[in-house]
Amino acid sequence: MEVYKAKAKKIGVTLKRSENKDKKFAVYKDGVFQANIGAKGYKDYESYKKENNEIAEQRRKAYKSRHSKDRSVKYRDGKLTAGYLADKILW
C-alpha cells in the first residue's frame, strides 16, 4: 500500500481502504471523499510488476488504451474522477 500512498501524495490526495466491498481504495482530497478506485480481484500495474516487468508494461499499455477517454477527465461535478485517479495511482 505504501507505493500507492506515495503516488497519491504526488497528486495531493490521500488513500484509505475502501468500505465498498468491491473496491480497493477510497480517495480523499482535503478530507473530502472523491471516489473509490480499483476493483478487488483484479490486478493493477504494481501487482503485475511484482511478477514480471514485461507483462506489467503490456498490461499498462492495454489499460491506458482501453481507458483513454475516462482517464483524461480530471474533474466532474467538482470532484476528481475515478478514471483519472485510477490512472495516476494504480497504473
Residue 39 confidence (pLDDT): 97
Q: Grid coordinates standing for 43? A: 490486478
Residue 1 confidence (pLDDT): 87
The share of the chain scoring above pLDDT 70, in percent, equals 100
The share of the chain scoring above pLDDT 90, in percent, equals 98
User: How does pLDDT run across 31-44, given as a tens digit for each residue?
Assistant: 999 999 999 999 99
User: Which distant-in-sequence residues (6+ apart) come within 8 Å of 56 by Cβ?
Assistant: 45, 48, 49
Domains in the chain: boundaries: 2-89
8 Å CB contact between 3 and 25:
no
d(CA 42, CA 63): 12
Whole-structure pTM value: 0.92
d(CA 39, CA 22): 6
| pLDDT band for position 63 (cuts 50, 70, 90) | very high
